[in-house]
Structure 1
Amino acid sequence: MENVAKDDTSFGEGLLLRVGLNDNKAGMKGLDKEKINKIIMEASKGSKFYENELKKDQQVNKRIEKMLELKNKITDQHIMKAQLQVDKIAMELDQRRDLSCTIVHIDMDAFYAAVEMRDNPDLRDKPIAVGSLSMLSTSNYHARRYGVRAAMPGFIAKKLCPHLVIVPLNFQKYKEESKKVREILVEYDPHFMPMGLDEAYLNITEHLEERKNWDEEKRRHLIPTYSSALNDEQEHPQSTSLVKSVVFGTSAEDVVEEIRFRVEQKTGLTASAGIAPNTMLAKMCSDQNKPNGQYRIPPERDAVMNFIKDLAIRKVPGIGKVTEKMLKALGIVTCTDLYQQRALISLLFSETSWRNFLEISLGLGSTHLERDGERKSMSTERTFNEISATEQYSLCKELCSDLAEDLKKEGLKARTVTLKLKNVNFEVKTRATTVMSAISTEEEIFAVAKDLLRWEMESVAPLPLRLRLMGIRVSGFLNEEEKKYQQKSIVNFLESGKQVSASRFFSRKSTDENLPKASESFFNKKRAISQKASQGLSLNESSKKLNLQDTGLVPLVDQAKDNECQIFICPVCFEEHQSSTLEAFNRHIDKCLAGTLEKDDGEMANIGISWENTIDKPVEREKQRM
């Protein structure tokens, strides 16, 4: 291990945070961390995975250097002033602490691996992982004793555990099992919030109130058992079914035990659970007694603070390896450290980030499960061995179908489609398109996503697009008011004298009186100013007609001319721009976005850094689970 550290003096420790053993994860405690990390580093070196992780780590190092440079400029006076401001906010947050809800986080144990072991008993006592030599999605608890984990390349896992069995992914099977679990959860909270296939949040506060009035029979569940009986005629044992029953109590612990019992009876799979006053704490609790266990934090402030006190920051949902390294550079390892350094953090991080850290250090989290229009996004992704272009399109359509099904269940329509790609060099790209008319069906989502995928294929032509992961995310959901006025607003925005070259997004006309006044005043004023400024300019009559299905941006067509002219509305500055090609307009958007980002950074306080992206956001997906 010392040799590794010497070879990688400038980044060794940080690189180990990225690729090494994370012993904060369930099933990883008590392992020989130094031995495992040495094997990982030796197996990784020279691989594309290693080079990509090294590149990312060096980028994080540059952020840390800037942060520490700024830290050196901070005076005691700055700290004292910041301390007063942050303490005032902390006091207000603490006074608003809500301990009235009972939130439950259900987390299936090693879900994909558990399904495979159930269906193939020969695998039950073997270390197995689900995925491929390129990347693993999860591992069972036997494999975790060797340091094998999710999001680890299979070829490295094989070095840690040579007799590891790697089972290919079977998402259709996992989705069917997930559906069975959800059918149970909905009985306890009709508005429960699923997170991927293998976990969910429930608010059982109302259920607990109702349950107090339930008699024993309503809380009774049958347990089918089997015994051997002697068949007199055939003179050999024969199985006969018996039925026993169990009655669960009315407390929160009893309810969660009942849920876990029913899940195991229905699927043959175990689940762990956390019970707490908010979602953040509930998720951390579900990891306490894995596998097949549960843990509760009582709804008391002292109990919450005692739980948080010595908790490693890496155990907090949303804090990943990047944030962990940045905080560690400031000497922050536990949630107590996070609170003690609250003034310094407020000077080094953006307001959104340091407020989030402050809430974490106080054990505060959401008690509201976002549903329907409140939800920000919905996504799914797959990891796979390298596949052909045809197979990439097929997978893209399958992902769009999954999302369309989820959107239909929740009655949502989205404006933005994002394509996430990870190539064989482990480089990640995201490409997004926002359409003017919200979409929800498989055909609509795929029409946008396949164009994004095609553009990426063309960008590397004549070479093939070599991928190892693909994901689709939809966002920008309509709220109820927007659903009501969406179509009318868009058509009015284009005005009666103009039309769109592709009509699939616009099916009918509308009148001014049906429009929301806010939309009229904002967009029409913007357009009026732009039109006035451009009077007298000759329109480019030779510009090509733009197919709206190839972009989320809407060209306006001047009907007074025999030939069409492309006038684009910039989604950033909302100004009209004449362009002969889409590429020219895209260059304007790039500049506009860059200017916006520079402006946002420039508006930070005299002492502060704006880097929202340093907070590792939870991956939205059919996720790769530990």
Structure 2
Amino acid sequence: MCEEGFLSRMALNDNKAGMEGLNRDKINKIIMESSKGSRFYENELKKEQQVNQRIERMMLQKAHITEQQLSKAQAQVEKMTSDLERGRDLSRVIVHVDMDAFYAAVETRDCPDLMDKPMAVGSMSMLSTSNYHARKFGVRAAMPGFIAKKLCPNLVIVPTNFDKYRAVSAEVREVFADYDPHFLPMSLDEAYLDISDHLEQRRGWPEALRTHRLRLHTNNTGTARVEEHGDLQETVEVEGLSPVLFENSPSSSPCLQDAAGGEVEVFGTCAEEAVREMRFRIEQKTSLTASAGIAPNMMLAKVCSDKNKPNGQYKLSSNRQAVIDFIQDLPVRKVSGIGKVTEKMLGALGITSCSHLGQEMALLALLFSETSWHHFLHISMGLGSTHIERDGERKSMSTERTFGEMSALKEQFSLCRELCQDLAQDLQKEALKGKTVTLKLKNVNFEVKTRAWTLPCAVATTEELFAVAKDLLKTEIDNVSPQPLRLRLMGVRVSSFASADDKKPLQKSIVGFLHKKQTNSSSTSQISHKPVKEHLPKPPGLTQPSACPSLVQQRQGQEGHAWVPSRGGVEVGRTGEDQHALTASDKMTHEPTAHASTSSCCSTEPESGTDSLTCPVCFREVNTTELTVFNRHIDQCLSGVTMGQNNHTDTELERGPKNWREEGGGGDGESAGDHTESTTGLLLYETSTANIPLSAVGLNPVCLNTCPNGGVSIHRGTDPNTLKGSSQSDPHVRDCLLSTGGPRPMTTPKPESRDHRGPALTCPVCQETQDTNDLTLFNLHVDLCLNQEVLHDPKGRTLSCNTMPIGHVVGLE
């Protein structure tokens, strides 16, 4: 049984144009004998055994189905059938166009010597397509080249040239766009079109618009053609209309001759004539032929395009009875979506045609998933999609390549980069960015493995994709070490595309007050590029090979970036120039009497069409309205703060309004008194990275309300333990210390070996920049600002800040 099952799986699928009337038994015997002992044979045998096990379980399930269950399922099927019948749409004219043996035809056009020879495009490992001469020997697409050689020893295998195929495909699509600007390409050589609107317009076209002159191209037949319009005189027959690459192709239709002696052809206004004109123009432009199917929906159009291949077309009438009659005797394998596994499972139930599907639908509803039997029901009724949605939501985009055995690391990484480059170009064309990168690998034993990594931000460039894919590939290489990773297929896929919903929040949130209505267009253009670069992943457990460091790290190292680990497995790089920009260049100017108001966060920079949010940590403008991206930026800032919060230098206590104005962010034209209201309760403790509030050194923050100098500054250079001596030399400072019972203990910061300054923080209440990146200290300062006037205790009494211990003010007690 296993041998028979294997033959059924590997048996020739002759449900393809040009393969009718073949000796299946002979071909299948050659396929089996050629495959035995190969990895391909072993893999197919294993898969066949799995399918047989599925069939056994299905038959066992069928044996336990009761009449009551069948009756209930039948009622459900009838109800759904009635609903679908009421929604049947026969008003659209859908066309499926399929180029004839596309890759092989392109190669034959460019090399006429292959015209009469059996040839295929691909390699000894796998064929992509074959011409119609080779199909007579049983050679077809998706067949290993070494088996094809057994079937046809004289077969010529030509390597693929996708750059050439894409160029020709672009020319074909230019013709499609004239009939349906929103056509849906399914691959390089096929597409769906809805020509309903075109037919409405075509009915009013004069004959001149439907007339095309033949231009003669230089080819193996010595004929050529031109698409022009002209007056008609007499009818002539033209031989060798195209370098048709197939025997028994439909002959050309009669042509007319204009006054200048040029040959022209006139087309009608109906659907058949419009499609014939389309195929004619494709042939004139590319010297290649196409086949087409015309039907009321996409499923039927796909089947019809295969009816008169090659170089032909078939139209199915748009009425219900014609559709039902057409579908009745159609083999299930002819329908798109039913492959060899489903075909075999249906065959085990005695279902081989679409009419059998309708007869056994209740049983199928009990044995198959809901999605599957719904699909079967649509097929049995001849229903399919009538809406061609080219710009629908794409779920993923990928590229992969099949090759001979590859085990060299250098070749594998090189191929991985090439795939990432190709995919990046495709993503750029569609303006897409994705968060999940997947690497697909198939080894020489035909075992397929996929590894994926989801990033915190969307990526699209070659470097970003390769940074992830390379690590995923390295992980798989390490898993099989010390044995080499022997591959025969590699692919890269990007999914989880950024959607419009992610980019536009539906309602205001707590970060609304950070929203910037006016931004600097020059600065936002620079910031917009940072999130992607700063969020490149380092998947947990993945290590870079010593001889192959991370490409992203190499780039950042060349640019002088200092790499800082951030949350979520992300590596964040900032240059020294960027760090300076965080503390100096982005300071905002405000009015002297700024209060605790969210509206004061707006900048006075020139207007820009780009919306942005202002980070509450670094107070930089982030050129995005996507909350997830904004939150990630905040995480980076918080991570940077944590890294540097203990990197203090020795300090000394001084007082002086001049130093406060210069270092605290005051404007040149503002006096010390101007800052009293917005900076009450703040003592600036200036180090390389942090500011310390008054509570940290035992001072009453509210004393600054009465201080004529408006504040006390601590500067570098002196140990904070000299604080007491400073207070004795200054009566005012001594009074401040005594008001809280003397100085509180303060831990001397540990000196740092290098000068590392984190991002400056700006108080949202007083609007003054604080020279610190310690959020704890910054939050204490904000609390002081919020409670600088009058405090109320739980008993309802009003207390003056001057009479309250500092611990009550800042919540330290």
TM category, shorter: 0.7 to 0.9
CA RMSD of the aligned region, Å? 3.4
From 6, 19, 27, the equivalent of 1:36 is 27
Please state if 1:473 is matched with 2:464.
no
Distance 2:264 2:400 in 1: 41
Match in the other structure for 1:305: 324
Distance 1:447 1:188 in 2: 42
Equivalence map 1:74-473=2 (5 Å) = 74-225=65-216, 243-387=262-406, 388-473=408-493
- Which amino acid counterpart does residue 191 of structure 2 have in structure 1? A
Change in 2 beyond 3 A, CA 1:559/1:369: same
Distance 2:415 2:69 in 1: 53
Match in the other structure for 1:73: 64
Match in the other structure for 1:591: none
- Which amino acid counterpart does residue 198 of structure 1 have in structure 2? D
Change in 2 beyond 3 A, CA 1:211/1:439: farther
- Which amino acid counterpart does residue 331 of structure 1 have in structure 2? G
Distance 2:110 2:476 in 1: 39
Q: CA deviation at 1:140?
A: 0.7
Distance 1:203 1:423 in 2: 42
Q: CA deviation at 1:62?
A: 1.2
Change in 2 beyond 3 A, CA 1:557/1:288: farther
- Which amino acid counterpart does residue 345 of structure 2 have in structure 1? M
Deviation by residue 1:182-203 (Cα, 9 ceiling, x = unmatched): 1221222222111121111111
- Which amino acid counterpart does residue 182 of structure 1 have in structure 2? R
Deviation by residue 1:518-559 (Cα, 9 ceiling, x = unmatched): x99xxx9xxxxxxxxxxxxxxxxxxxxxxx9xxxxx999877
Deviation by residue 1:387-432 (Cα, 9 ceiling, x = unmatched): 4433333333333333333333333333333332222222222223
Please state if 1:502 is matched with 2:570.
yes
Q: In structure 2, list runs of 5 or more residues that go unmatched.
A: 223-259, 513-530, 532-565, 579-611, 617-623, 646-813
Change in 2 beyond 3 A, CA 1:451/1:215: farther
Equivalence map 1:549-568=2 (5 Å) = none
Q: CA deviation at 1:160?
A: 0.6
Distance 2:22 2:644 in 1: 72
Are the counterparts in 2 of residues 221 and 246 from structure 1 also a CA contact under 8 Å?
yes
Are the counterparts in 1 of residues 504 and 625 from structure 2 also a CA contact under 8 Å?
no
What TM-score do the two structures reach when normalised by structure 1? 0.74
Q: In structure 1, list runs of 5 or more residues that go unmatched.
A: 1-9, 229-240, 525-547, 549-553, 565-626
Change in 2 beyond 3 A, CA 1:420/1:243: farther
From 53, 60, 63, the equivalent of 1:62 is 53
Are the counterparts in 2 of residues 225 and 243 from structure 1 also a CA contact under 8 Å?
no
Are the counterparts in 2 of residues 436 and 505 from structure 1 also a CA contact under 8 Å?
no
What secondary structure sits across from 1:432 in the alignment? strand
Distance 1:505 1:350 in 2: 49
What secondary structure sits across from 1:384 in the alignment? strand
Deviation by residue 1:82-124 (Cα, 9 ceiling, x = unmatched): 1001110111011111112111111111111111111111111
Q: CA deviation at 1:331?
A: 1.1
Change in 2 beyond 3 A, CA 1:68/1:315: same
Q: CA deviation at 1:485?
A: 4.7
Are the counterparts in 1 of residues 121 and 129 from structure 2 also a CA contact under 8 Å?
yes
What secondary structure sits across from 1:392 in the alignment? helix
Distance 1:281 1:510 in 2: 55
Distance 2:195 2:572 in 1: 44
What secondary structure sits across from 1:476 in the alignment? strand
Q: CA deviation at 1:49?
A: 0.4
What secondary structure sits across from 1:104 in the alignment? strand
Indicate the percent of aligned positions where both proteins have the same amino acid.
Answer: 62
Change in 2 beyond 3 A, CA 1:403/1:301: farther
Deviation by residue 1:117-147 (Cα, 9 ceiling, x = unmatched): 1111111101111111111111111011011
Are the counterparts in 1 of residues 502 and 626 from structure 2 also a CA contact under 8 Å?
no
Deviation by residue 1:278-309 (Cα, 9 ceiling, x = unmatched): 11111111111111111111211111111111
Are the counterparts in 1 of residues 613 and 625 from structure 2 also a CA contact under 8 Å?
no
What secondary structure sits across from 1:130 in the alignment? strand
Deviation by residue 1:486-514 (Cα, 9 ceiling, x = unmatched): 9x99x99x9xxx855636799986689x9
From 13, 18, 21, the equivalent of 2:9 is 18
Change in 2 beyond 3 A, CA 1:366/1:431: farther
| Aligned pairs, number | 506
Higher relative contact order structure (alpha carbons within 8 Å, sequence separation ≥ 6): 1
Are the counterparts in 2 of residues 381 and 472 from structure 1 also a CA contact under 8 Å?
yes
Distance 2:182 2:467 in 1: 31
Deviation by residue 1:548-606 (Cα, 9 ceiling, x = unmatched): 9xxxxx99987786599xxxxxxxxxxxxxxxxxxxxxxxxxxxxxxxxxxxxxxxxxx
- Which amino acid counterpart does residue 380 of structure 2 have in structure 1? S
- Which amino acid counterpart does residue 57 of structure 2 have in structure 1? K
Deviation by residue 1:229-255 (Cα, 9 ceiling, x = unmatched): xxxxxxxxxxxx974221222211111
Change in 2 beyond 3 A, CA 1:511/1:203: farther
Change in 2 beyond 3 A, CA 1:441/1:305: farther
Change in 2 beyond 3 A, CA 1:416/1:365: farther
Change in 2 beyond 3 A, CA 1:116/1:307: same
Match in the other structure for 2:728: none
Distance 2:476 2:388 in 1: 36
What secondary structure sits across from 2:470 in the alignment? helix
Change in 2 beyond 3 A, CA 1:202/1:84: same
Deviation by residue 1:338-368 (Cα, 9 ceiling, x = unmatched): 1111111111111111111111111111122
Equivalence map 1:557-596=2 (5 Å) = none
Q: CA deviation at 1:459?
A: 2.2
Change in 2 beyond 3 A, CA 1:477/1:222: farther
- Which amino acid counterpart does residue 83 of structure 1 have in structure 2? Q
- Which amino acid counterpart does residue 328 of structure 2 have in structure 1? K
Distance 2:572 2:203 in 1: 54
Change in 2 beyond 3 A, CA 1:499/1:457: closer
Are the counterparts in 2 of residues 501 and 555 from structure 1 also a CA contact under 8 Å?
no
What secondary structure sits across from 1:455 in the alignment? helix
Are the counterparts in 1 of residues 94 and 295 from structure 2 also a CA contact under 8 Å?
yes
Distance 2:636 2:190 in 1: 43
What secondary structure sits across from 1:250 in the alignment? coil
Distance 1:454 1:100 in 2: 54
Deviation by residue 1:30-61 (Cα, 9 ceiling, x = unmatched): 00011110111111111110000000111111
What secondary structure sits across from 1:65 in the alignment? helix
- Which amino acid counterpart does residue 215 of structure 2 have in structure 1? P
Change in 2 beyond 3 A, CA 1:501/1:410: closer
What secondary structure sits across from 1:463 in the alignment? coil
Change in 2 beyond 3 A, CA 1:102/1:87: same
What TM-score do the two structures reach when normalised by structure 2? 0.58
- Which amino acid counterpart does residue 413 of structure 1 have in structure 2? K
